[in-house]
Structure 1
Amino acid sequence: MSTLAPPTTTIPADSLNTLSAEQIVSKIKARDFSCQDLLAYYQSQYQLHNGRINAIVATDFDAAKKRAIAADEALANGEDWGPLHGLPMTIKDCFEVVGMPTTAGNPIYKNHFPNSNAESVQRLVNAGAIVFGKTNVPINAADIQSFNSIYGTTNNPWDISKTPGGSSGGAAAALAAGLSPIELGSDIGGSIRTPSHWCGIFGHKPSYGIVPLKGHVPDEPGTLAMPDLATAGPMAKTPEDLDMLLDILTAPDKASTEGWALKLPSSSKKSLGDYKVLAWFDDPAAPIEHELRQRYQALVETLKEQGAQVDEGAPDNLALIDFYVPYLKLLVGEVASAMPLQERLKAALLSPLLLLIGRFIGFPPTFLNALRSVGQSHRSWKKANEQRLKLAARLQSTFDQYDIILMPVVPTTAIPHNQKGDVPLRTINVNGEKRNYTELFPWISFATILGLPATSAPIATTKEGMPMNVQVVSRQFKDKETIQFAKLLHAIVGRIAP
């Protein structure tokens, strides 16, 4: 066995921020620096920058160092662990990781130290990754901001007076600040797409069911059932890294491997001019900021200049409300079922009171109706599920006509921290008008309720210097298509970073 040399190369601070994970691993395998050097670099990045943004909330550098030594030793002996060989990374604090607590931001889980990795985490480890930290989330991963009583508030690296989003907010902030090269997020209410938009990084919500969620909290630890609507997916600084990570993460679970294989269709598109695009940026359920609308229109013109066929408007004469209403019913039922018993009982008891308060203060009727779903019957759930299936069938003709649907992610760029009161009682500002906080959810409901792939891709910065993304949606299992579109778009837009 070869003798392993100690780390000898000090990688300058922030010097890897412009590199993709693939490029960093290539440098490891070319022996430009060792795995130990690279881990030391990310530990230094953590020490330099995390205090300002509080993205990484738990670490295990001792275990990570042992694995980095083993990774260097493997390379010295001609072994290749895979596409992530020796790459340090962080994981959203909803996924179980051995050696660190998995809390989902909830104090009842603050001492939950799992005995095994979540299945998706293990796939990354099997590909060579070195997990050194966990990133912050809201309590029960149930907010569009990332703060909790265990770890405090995560700030947006672009402007610390603003939130990075949620629930994968710590993940997006860590990526944008250069604290981690890749991340594993999860998404049921835009939890990958919105933080990616507010932090100017790439995130992909996969087609439903193709990435395992076993070992994901706030479902009670040990849960085997796949939750409705929810997905796990990659977050990264480049769309190429999304593609690589998706290949690692997608596969049937171990119990199904003898019965079927998963092979996502690749994209045949070589340029933006090859695409037929439907651009849907306006809907009364969630009007967007004027500047975002102008930037999206500029994107439409750019696509046309590139030769793409672009039509504008809603698919099949539908409106967001057609998707948002059944989505909320299914979402509230799923989130309530995943709550610890004491919190579920509290929510069920409080929902009638919230209904009365909501009517008095002017809650949107759609959200008021959704509150009734906290303790809904199976019959009620089946009715909403039937609505979902009928919408999916109706949309098939749209995807026969278009390769991609482009949509906003949310109506605004990153919002100021707002932690007062319960989520439904908060407000946001859109074009100088106070609107309900729940309007942060309609645009993400389309892809979620239908189980469609959706890539959140940076396209510009605003006059205030904040990033903005576009949501790229396609037919179910056409994940490679949305990521390919993001790659081609990225080649024109270029890197966006704080």
Structure 2
Amino acid sequence: MSSASAPSPFASGVELLAALRSGAITSRALLDLYLERIARFNPQLNAVIHLEVEAARTRADEADAAQARGESWGPLHGLPLTVKESHHIAGWPTTWGDPAFADFRPDATGVAAQRLLDAGAIIFGKTNVPINLLDWQSYNAIHGTTENPWRVGFTPGGSSGGSAAALAAGLTSVELGTDAGGSVRIPSHFCGLFGHRPSIYVVPQAGNERPGITLGNEVATPGPMARSARDLELLLDVLAGPTGPEATAWRLTLPAPRATELTRFRVAILYSAEIAVVDDAYVERLRGLTQKLRDAGVAVDETARPAFDFTEQHHVLIQVLRGASSSRATPAAVEAAEALLRTKAADDLSYVTDAARAMLQSHRTWLGIQERRAAIQRAWAEFFTRYDVLLAPASTTAAFPIDEAGTRDTRTLSVNNRRADYNDQLFWAGLATLPGLPASVAPIGHTRDGLPAGVQIIGPYLEDRTPLAFAAALEDLYGFRVPPGFE
């Protein structure tokens, strides 16, 4: 990026930071570029739902002045960026898309967002989410619906859907999302981006609690999103590490990746599963990836699987995921779950029935679920003695048409011209969520009908740099593409 050229809104964060350090661009000019693009493109996307323009411009000017004095605020000095709406910024609205919290303004900034600020970033806005972060679309009664830049009327995913749409359209440099049930990975896949769900607890959740809530969520984690895999590692280095009392003594040192060259990775791949069938158009892209890897000299095992039953894994996932959020259930929701279970057989493992069980499970049942979860974690650990990464779908389909009718419990998706349970998407996200494993997503081209496709790269616990390194190697084969009309 030369000093004679304007900065590209689609440049990676690493490239933009290099240009800022060299003086090729200024923080204020870069911020204004993104604000101009938001004014131009956001009305059709509704990705960015809150801006703090004057405060951001003041901070950008201060960053430029510090740069001129030879001072550095940190590795993100002067980089303008947005964050997912659920991240607390002191004095800014945090609603989780829920009208009950429409007027909530936190007094303090959450740990993850504060670490971005402490590293020199300029947070200038927030991006849209579904209500209570519980959907793979991003719409709510406060801020409306977010569109996918790749196709009008299609979802960018959720719950970090506004984050993904803003990145893909070049409205921000990098993003901070969160992920429990695929909320970083699915939007990254739907919008042709890179995303990373860290190993659980590597990035603190603290500081983003709802009013009256103290306990964290044992399956949710903040995670970075970007147009380049190299940005993910940069952001993870800023975000990772203990906080609060743990920081008194604990230190985090993530190990180096097991490999950096594609041919040195031991790779296994999944294409589909009976419990969550993947659309053929998406499978075609995954098989194309396998062929491209083999052409590059990579040995890819199409038969290797961790030693647990997928149906068992999915049942345990739902009990953990929905059990972890059961404390927020209203009395009406509890009564509805009790009524539903009175009509269901004990062997009914449909999502709606299993979710009702999760809400009502006893402590004894919860402990039994945790034992089964631990067995699955051990099976993953054994698997990763033989393989470095498992490649898998990020969801059951590519991006799908926006559907706000009913609820996620009543919706279906078209998979191979048949109607499939909307919640089948959760199975693929849950492969990493349940055991707390790191999982990156990288673009692998587009389906026959022109929608982005991404691959989920699952790695060993606390070895986040391994799936990140594989994503970076894939970037050399594929990489981010600008959606038509947003150049």
**Following TM superposition, where does structure 1 have runs of at least 4 consecutive aligned residues deviating by more than 4 angstroms?**
9-12, 353-359
Aligned-residue CA RMSD (Å): 2.0
Determine the C-alpha separation between the residues in 2 that align with 1:107 and 1:39: 30
User: Which residue matches 1:474?
Assistant: 459
User: Which residue matches 1:304?
Assistant: 294
Q: Shift of residue 179 of structure 1?
A: 0.6
User: Which residue matches 1:208?
Assistant: 200
User: Which residue matches 2:154?
Assistant: 162
Cα deviation, 1:93-131, whole Å, max 9, x if unaligned, reads 111012420111111111111121100000000011111
Determine the C-alpha separation between the residues in 1 that align with 2:380 and 2:257: 20
- The residue identity in structure 1 corresponding to 2:228 is T
Contact conserved, 1:10 with 1:41, CA < 8 A, in 2?
A: no
In the superposition, relative to structure 1, how do residues 10 and 334 fare at CA in structure 2: closer, same or farther (>3 Å)? farther
- The residue identity in structure 1 corresponding to 2:13 is A
Cα deviation, 1:25-70, whole Å, max 9, x if unaligned, reads 1111211222111111111011011001000111111111111111
User: Which residue matches 2:336?
Assistant: 350
1:292 aligned onto 2:286: no
Q: Shift of residue 357 of structure 1?
A: 8.4
User: Which residue matches 2:65?
Assistant: 73
Contact conserved, 1:211 with 1:251, CA < 8 A, in 2?
A: yes
Q: Shift of residue 221 of structure 1?
A: 3.4
Aligned to 2:142, the other structure's residue is in SS state coil
User: Which residue matches 1:6?
Assistant: none
Structure 1 portions without partners, runs of 5+: 1-8
User: Which residue matches 2:357?
Assistant: 372
Aligned to 1:184, the other structure's residue is in SS state strand
User: Which of 228, 249, 254 is matched with 1:238 structurally?
Assistant: 228
Aligned to 2:17, the other structure's residue is in SS state helix
Determine the C-alpha separation between the residues in 1 that align with 2:341 and 2:143: 31
User: Which residue matches 2:423?
Assistant: 438
User: Which residue matches 1:58?
Assistant: 50
Q: Shift of residue 346 of structure 1?
A: 2.4
Q: Shift of residue 352 of structure 1?
A: 3.5
Determine the C-alpha separation between the residues in 1 that align with 2:134 and 2:264: 39
Contact conserved, 1:146 with 1:153, CA < 8 A, in 2?
A: yes
Task: Give matches, 1:187-266, under 5 Å.
Answer: 187-216=179-208, 219-221=209-211, 223-266=213-256
Q: Shift of residue 72 of structure 1?
A: 1.3
User: Which of 399, 402, 410 is matched with 1:417 structurally?
Assistant: 402
1:94 aligned onto 2:86: yes
Determine the C-alpha separation between the residues in 1 that align with 2:384 and 2:330: 39
Determine the C-alpha separation between the residues in 2 that align with 1:11 and 1:178: 17
Contact conserved, 1:404 with 1:473, CA < 8 A, in 2?
A: yes
**Aligned residue pairs: how many?**
480
Aligned to 1:167, the other structure's residue is in SS state coil
Contact conserved, 2:285 with 2:446, CA < 8 A, in 1?
A: no
Determine the C-alpha separation between the residues in 2 that align with 1:71 and 1:476: 37
TM-score by length of 1: 0.92
Cα deviation, 1:301-346, whole Å, max 9, x if unaligned, reads 2222222221113524534222111000111111222x3xxx5222
Contact conserved, 1:215 with 1:223, CA < 8 A, in 2?
A: no
Determine the C-alpha separation between the residues in 2 that align with 1:469 and 1:260: 35
User: Which of 157, 180, 184 is matched with 2:176 structurally?
Assistant: 184
Determine the C-alpha separation between the residues in 2 that align with 1:238 and 1:351: 43
In the superposition, relative to structure 1, how do residues 171 and 493 fare at CA in structure 2: closer, same or farther (>3 Å)? same
Contact conserved, 2:189 with 2:441, CA < 8 A, in 1?
A: yes
User: Which residue matches 2:97?
Assistant: 105
Q: Shift of residue 494 of structure 1?
A: 3.1
Contact conserved, 1:204 with 1:455, CA < 8 A, in 2?
A: yes
Contact conserved, 1:283 with 1:319, CA < 8 A, in 2?
A: no
1:426 aligned onto 2:416: no
User: Which of 332, 342, 345 is matched with 2:322 structurally?
Assistant: 332
Contact conserved, 2:31 with 2:80, CA < 8 A, in 1?
A: yes
User: Which residue matches 1:323?
Assistant: 313
User: Which residue matches 1:397?
Assistant: 382
Determine the C-alpha separation between the residues in 1 that align with 2:24 and 2:381: 49
Determine the C-alpha separation between the residues in 1 that align with 2:415 and 2:230: 33
Contact conserved, 1:81 with 1:128, CA < 8 A, in 2?
A: yes
1:26 aligned onto 2:26: no
User: Which residue matches 1:456?
Assistant: 441
User: Which residue matches 1:3?
Assistant: none
Cα deviation, 1:390-444, whole Å, max 9, x if unaligned, reads 1111222211000010100111000101111121101100010011111111111
Contact conserved, 2:217 with 2:325, CA < 8 A, in 1?
A: no
Determine the C-alpha separation between the residues in 2 that align with 1:485 and 1:420: 38
In the superposition, relative to structure 1, how do residues 10 and 114 fare at CA in structure 2: closer, same or farther (>3 Å)? farther
Determine the C-alpha separation between the residues in 1 that align with 2:258 and 2:215: 35
Question: What is the identity percentage for the equivalent residue pairs of Structure 1 and Structure 2?
Answer: 37
Determine the C-alpha separation between the residues in 1 that align with 2:268 and 2:325: 31
Determine the C-alpha separation between the residues in 1 that align with 2:466 and 2:414: 34
Aligned to 1:58, the other structure's residue is in SS state strand
Determine the C-alpha separation between the residues in 2 that align with 1:307 and 1:464: 29
Determine the C-alpha separation between the residues in 2 that align with 1:281 and 1:26: 38
Contact conserved, 1:166 with 1:195, CA < 8 A, in 2?
A: yes
Deviates more, 1:238-247 or 1:387-396: 387-396
TM-score by length of 2: 0.95
Cα deviation, 1:214-243, whole Å, max 9, x if unaligned, reads 122xx4236443311111110011000001
Q: Shift of residue 356 of structure 1?
A: 7.2
Contact conserved, 1:22 with 1:83, CA < 8 A, in 2?
A: no
Contact conserved, 2:258 with 2:388, CA < 8 A, in 1?
A: no
User: Which residue matches 2:109?
Assistant: 117
Determine the C-alpha separation between the residues in 1 that align with 2:427 and 2:343: 22
Determine the C-alpha separation between the residues in 2 that align with 1:383 and 1:497: 47
User: Which residue matches 1:488?
Assistant: 473
Q: Shift of residue 158 of structure 1?
A: 0.5
Determine the C-alpha separation between the residues in 2 that align with 1:222 and 1:238: 38
Determine the C-alpha separation between the residues in 2 that align with 1:181 and 1:358: 49
Aligned to 2:301, the other structure's residue is in SS state strand
Contact conserved, 1:59 with 1:100, CA < 8 A, in 2?
A: no
Determine the C-alpha separation between the residues in 1 that align with 2:417 and 2:380: 34
Q: Shift of residue 268 of structure 1?
A: 4.5
- The residue identity in structure 2 corresponding to 1:174 is A
Cα deviation, 1:244-285, whole Å, max 9, x if unaligned, reads 000000011132223121000011423111011111112101
Aligned to 1:386, the other structure's residue is in SS state helix
User: Which residue matches 1:4?
Assistant: none
Deviates more, 1:449-458 or 1:308-317: 308-317
